[in-house]
Amino acid sequence: MSSVSRSAASSPWMIGSWFVSIKNSRRPEVIRPATEQDRRIFYRCADEEGWRVPQVERRLFRDIWLRSALALSAGGCFCGLVTAVPHHESGWIGNLMVPASLRGRGYGRRLFLAAVQALQSCGVRSLWLTASAQGQPLYEKEGFAPVGQIERWVRSAGGLGCSVPKEEPLAPLRQADRKAWGEERSPFLTQLVQCGHICRSGDAVLLRQPGDDMQILGPWYGRNLDEQRQLLKQVTDCAPPGTELVTDVLATSGLQPVLAEHGFAPAGSTLLMAKGKLSVDLDQVVALGSLGSVG
């Protein structure tokens, strides 16, 4: 049995104030906004699992997405975490993690359902996530369906650091993003661009997100492979050496040969899944703006 209370979200970055109490005489369970301690445990578990959580994303979940992460505790002990980030019309569920020693007890499903409910309370029309083969059956039971495949490509050596990046305006990236996703995601892009660098060649445009341990290439849009080839040369020329370049591309982008030409190698894949009213043109999307967690 559970009791739920919430307040309406007051900004596009907040999922409201959530508190879910699941009555259990031995180990009372609570789903609530994640604390700094919860996040530290989550990052430690993520490191143990080999999950990649970019620096930019960690910063945003301490800042504008502070209340967009939910944690489950039982008897006062951390039992898992999930993130639920709303855009204007879509919401993204990510970072669903239960410590290995606590799996098989239903914690993951309860966190997932809490994230779905939190995003629906914001009025979004579609829900999105990336899924492993292990998680796919859970999501399909809740009405999610595969809409694509995401491939991770990595250039371990980083860039060449031999050129100064040209300053590009936000407008082309914002326009390409709106055309692909069918909604205005300017607040999301503005936050990413604060620490990033926009690269453009013709109609091809991407954002390089810096970090100490890796740099994310995305969001990334365009269809012309010659322009994408020129764009990747710009990126590898100006990115600093020694820091991995990582991008989560749609398998249908056709970019695999171009990535391989520029020293990238495949490093796993996931399913892109969605539920609700979709108004997207995934043919315009080359890569996500995150490693599967926020779109």
80 and 34 within one domain: yes
Give the domain-ending residue among 107, 124, 141. Answer: 124
212 and 112 within one domain: no
Among 134, 68, 62, 71, residue whose Cα is nearest residue 98: 71
Q: Is residue 264 part of a domain?
A: yes
Q: Is residue 144 part of a domain?
A: no
155 and 68 within one domain: no
Domain tally, the chain: 2
Q: Is residue 43 part of a domain?
A: yes
CB atoms < 10 A from the CB of 123, how many? 12
276 and 162 within one domain: yes
Spatial neighbors of 19 by CB under 8 A, at least 6 apart, are: 4, 5, 6, 30, 31, 32
Between the CA of residue 283 and those of 9, 142, 147, 176, 239, what are the distances in Å?
32, 26, 12, 12, 27
267 and 186 within one domain: yes
217 and 99 within one domain: no
252 and 176 within one domain: yes
Domain that includes residue 241, residue range: 150-287
pLDDT attached to residue 166: 81
* Average pLDDT of adjacent 10-residue blocks, the chain of 295 residues: 35 46 64 97 94 92 93 96 97 97 95 98 97 93 98 95 85 97 95 93 95 94 96 93 96 97 97 97 97 94
pLDDT attached to residue 28: 85
Give the CATH number, domain containing residue 79.
3.40.630.30
pLDDT attached to residue 1: 32
Give the CATH number, domain containing residue 244.
3.40.630.90
* pTM confidence score: 0.90
220 and 162 within one domain: yes
Q: Is residue 172 part of a domain?
A: yes
